[in-house]
Amino acid sequence: MAQQAKLTLLIDLADKLSAKLGKLEGKLAGFQSRMQKRLNTLSDKVSSKLGMSTDTLKKGLMVGIAAGAAALGALGVKSVQAAEKFNDAFLPIRQLNLDKSKGELDDYRNKIRDAAFEVGTNLSASTTAMYDLQSATGVYGDDAIAIFKKVAKYSVATGADLNDSMNSTTKAMKAFGLGVNDIDKLLESNAKTVQTGITTYDELAKVQTEYAGAASSAGQGVDTANKVFAMFTSVAKNSDVGANMAKTFFQGLGQQADKFKKVLNIDVFDKEGSMRQADDILKDIAGKFKGMNDKQITEAINKIGGPEGLRGALDKVKTGADDVIKTFDAFDSSKFNLDDALRNAQGDFGKMKELFANRLEIVLSKIGDAIIPPLLRLFEVLNPALDWLNKNVGWLIPVFTAFAGALVLAAGAMWILNSSIWANPVIWIIAGIAALIALIVYLCSKIEGWGNLWDYTVKFVKAVWNGFLADVKLAWLGAEDLLLSGIEKIMTAWYKLKGLWNKAEAAEGLAKIEKESNERAKQLNKAQELSTHYKLEAARNLDGALHSLKWKEDKKEEKTGNSTGTQNTGASLYGNTKQGGGVADGGNAKKKGNSVGNAVQKVTGASTQAKNINIKIEALHKGNNIIGNGGNGSISMKEYETMFNEMMMRIIRNAEMS
């Protein structure tokens, strides 16, 4: 009987699903028909204006739409990726400025992007450079933007890495106490270093931090520090070694100051006690060495001593004093104009391609900024679903595990019973349905709100479907308006030209174009409002569906009494309060009477509802019972009546149980 009821339920469910699927199929067919009709109408309009066949135009439109859709999809993906990279690069700046408002930081973010677009540098590298600048110097806002533009132009003009250039600039600013107005001189000094020394812009940007601190500690300026480094590049193995020698030279110059005075009678410090510039000291040393022979020079160098860099500088003056002085003079006389260098770099094809690619990525990041907010709203809608799953995973996993285990056990038992069942899919369908019904019964017994869930789900699906149709219609109307607007611009120009010799016809044509344009604008606005409406409706129904289900809670009846403290003394099985001696234990009745009655009423209350049950009885008596006086195997009428009553009671009880 129970299996037959389950199969009947399955058949009813299949009928309902078939009807629903049939309606959905009809809607899809109608949608396809309407879209085809719109396409035909648009094709007729455009073909009549362009003077070509409708079939040719349709083929061109389909190819163009497919290519446009693919291009828009790729553009959307690239734009979101570019915006995401920019956001990731800007996040450290947000963390560095927690005391500032989100609006202020968003404006700063846009300024960084505009500055990077102006110069043509990579957006992520530019943002990282801005972070390095503020992190090292504390400079923020317009001053930081001004410094970045100068360093970025220097990087583009010289080919030096932007982040290395910014790193060396910030270190030099801290070491030499430079401000915003001193950046031009610093960059010019760096360019002169490359012109006179044996190094590159990229190498200088990487190694300048090695000797800048020591030079500043020795009281040297930027130009002097770069001059000494340029001198060492002619004797050192590479720029790294030259930077280290310059560092130890500046360290040893102050350490051995008294020996310079004693051995060569050269003052390292001036009358005010400040250290003289190193290039002037080396020029004085070169003048002293000119009047000395090799032995005397060697003895003097040994007496002065000092670290490797200082001895290396003295050796360089010993063997090539003229070369040292020539390097210093060339540095002082060289010229560098950043704007001219930038124009030269921008004239190179490879550099132009790089700048174009960087600017294109910046534009894509702006498009991505417009796409990301709807995606964020989508995640906000989906987050409650994840939250619900996270809170209920504790009981979901055991339920589904038990369900899977039941299927495995059922499959194993059936395989053992009869291996031929594997070839009979009906058995598997019945087993799956039985397990599914068992799962549904379990969930229904533990959770309430299934009716609301179903209602909200149906409304949500309808809203999503209607929203999809509205979006398709909106996209179609937008594409149609874009295409027809372009054609109308051409036709407008034609009618204006035609007005020179036929004003009436030109005015009529222009009026018709304006009327059609206004009608399309109204349709677009209406479609936009409809799309927004369905999106909001879908969001509301989804939220309602996610909050529909909740665990059933046992409802405990509160004790009731009158003002004198008198309480019910007990309750019958059906909740009727008994008076007097109807209850043996009055204390227990007070506690349990109402709850027991309510519990029983929950079980028996459903039986009061009207039900239609058909009972088919083949026969209660087929003649095998002999009614008589009770002798010779017969039964008496009273015995037969007792048997009949018992059989009828069994039938009624079985009907009630079913």
**pLDDT the model gives residue 658:** 59
Write out pLDDT tens, residues 460-471: 888 888 888 888
What is 26-70 written as a DSSP string? HHHHHHHHHHHHHHHHHHHHHHHHHT--HHHHHHHHHHHHHHHHH
Query: Residue 604's pLDDT band (boundaries 50, 70, 90)?
Result: very low
**pLDDT the model gives residue 174:** 83
**pLDDT the model gives residue 42:** 64
How much is the average pLDDT of 8-20?
Answer: 57
**Of residues 70 and 134, which shows the higher confidence score?**
134
How many whole angstroms separate alpha carbon 18 and alpha carbon 12? Answer: 10
> Is 130 a residue whose pLDDT tops 90?
yes
**pLDDT the model gives residue 18:** 58
Range with lowest mean pLDDT among 274-278, 388-392, 418-422: 418-422
**Of residues 253 and 656, which shows the higher confidence score?**
253
Range with lowest mean pLDDT among 99-103, 382-386, 455-459, 540-544: 382-386
**pLDDT the model gives residue 401:** 66
> Is 2 a residue whose pLDDT tops 50?
no
> Is 131 a residue whose pLDDT tops 90?
yes
Residue 101 in 3-state DSSP? coil
Range with lowest mean pLDDT among 307-311, 364-368, 466-470: 466-470
> Is 111 a residue whose pLDDT tops 90?
yes
Which helix (H) or strand (E) is 448 found in, with range?
Answer: strand 447-448
Q: Could you tell me the two tokens for 529?
A: 């409002």
> Is 457 a residue whose pLDDT tops 50?
yes
149: amino acid identity, one letter? K
Contact residues for 437 (Cβ-Cβ < 8 A; gap 6+): 6, 9
Q: How far is C-alpha 40 from the chain's CA centre?
A: 40
**pLDDT the model gives residue 110:** 93
212: amino acid identity, one letter? A
How much is the average pLDDT of 146-166?
Answer: 89
The DSSP 8-state label assigned to residue 198 in this structure reads S
Residue 201: exposed, middle, or buried by beta-carbon count in 10 A (0-12, 13-18, 19+)?
buried
**pLDDT the model gives residue 603:** 47
**pLDDT the model gives residue 559:** 43
Contact residues for 605 (Cβ-Cβ < 8 A; gap 6+): none
Residue 550 in 3-state DSSP? strand
Query: Residue 105's pLDDT band (boundaries 50, 70, 90)?
Result: very high
Write out pLDDT tens, residues 474-496: 777 777 777 777 777 777 877 78
Q: Could you tell me the two tokens for 654?
A: 């079985």
**Of residues 589 and 391, which shows the higher confidence score?**
391
Write out pLDDT tens, residues 614-629: 666 666 665 556 666 6
Q: What is the pTM of this model?
A: 0.50
How much is the average pLDDT of 267-290?
Answer: 87
579: amino acid identity, one letter? Q
**Of residues 371 and 551, which shows the higher confidence score?**
371
**pLDDT the model gives residue 9:** 52
> Is 255 a residue whose pLDDT tops 70?
yes
Q: What percent of the chain clears pLDDT 70, i.e. is strictly above it?
A: 66
The DSSP 8-state label assigned to residue 261 in this structure reads I
**Of residues 658 and 390, which shows the higher confidence score?**
390
From the list 299, 220, 293, 232, the residue with the least C-alpha distance to 259 is 299
How many whole angstroms separate alpha carbon 455 and alpha carbon 545? Answer: 8
> Is 6 a residue whose pLDDT tops 60?
no
Query: Residue 436's pLDDT band (boundaries 50, 70, 90)?
Result: low
Q: At what angle do helices 338-346 and 142-158 cross, to 10 degrees?
A: 60
Write out pLDDT tens, residues 538-593: 888 888 877 877 777 654 444 444 444 444 444 443 344 444 444 444 444 444 44
**pLDDT the model gives residue 583:** 43
Residue 551 in 3-state DSSP? strand
How many whole angstroms separate alpha carbon 93 and alpha carbon 559? Answer: 63
Mean pLDDT for the chain overall: 76
How many whole angstroms separate alpha carbon 195 and alpha carbon 333? Answer: 11
Write out pLDDT tens, residues 331-343: 888 888 777 888 8
**pLDDT the model gives residue 394:** 66
**Of residues 467 and 65, which shows the higher confidence score?**
467
Give the ranges where 218-348 is alpha helix by DSSP (H). 222-232, 239-255, 257-259, 278-290, 294-304, 308-333, 338-346
How many whole angstroms separate alpha carbon 38 and alpha carbon 473? Answer: 10
At which residue do the structure tokens 């410094």 appear? 147
Q: Tally Cβ neighbours within 10 Å of residue 396.
A: 12
> Is 141 a residue whose pLDDT tops 80?
yes
Between the alpha carbon of residue 299 and those of residues 266, 423, 432, 563, the distances in Å are 16, 106, 102, 119
Range with lowest mean pLDDT among 88-92, 316-320, 371-375: 371-375
